[in-house]
Amino acid sequence: MSEIIQAQKTARPVVLRILRYHLDDVDDVLQDAAVQALKHSDEFRGKSRYSTWFTKIAINTALMHLRRRVVKNADKMWPLKDLDLLSTEETPEQFVAREERERLIRIRLHKAIRLLKPALRMETWRWLRGERAINGAEKATRHRARVKLRKMLLV
């Protein structure tokens, strides 16, 4: 029983990320996952840690929860079904993957902005002073910033 409680603590951040807009349902999903884990405990082979196995069950339970939520909302919007507003090509798995990609892109953009700030500051000061020529230090700083940015965005 203590294994399940520890596994729930391990799986909580993953479930929170999947249910990011439905935070009130996280505890319900984790409880459903615990019930599923107890029900299928004989299927645990021990090839991985128990928390890893439980996390996979929690992920599947969270995705099923999102699917059920979409179906419930579709029933509430019955008059609009003829307008084809509810048809979405995106499954919950694709939604989570897209959200994760967007999060990683935001992180990389913030890093890129930090890298480019020194070069942009120099460029701004040069422009404010009315200077046209670029000295060697500015060229080198710009070049290093561009190289770092390319590496970061291509990784």
pTM confidence score: 0.48
**What tens digit of pLDDT does each residue of 115-124 get?**
777 766 766 6
Q: What are the two backbone dihedrals, phi and then psi, of residue 67, each rounded to the nearest 5 degrees?
A: -60, -45
User: What residue segments make up the domains of the chain, in order of their start?
Assistant: 2-83, 92-154
- For residue 129, pLDDT over 70 is answered with no
User: How deeply is 68 buried, as exposed, middle or buried, from its count of CB atoms within 10 A (0-12, 13-18, 19+)?
Assistant: exposed
Q: Which fold has domain 2-83?
A: Rna Polymerase Sigma Factor; Chain: A (1.10.1740)
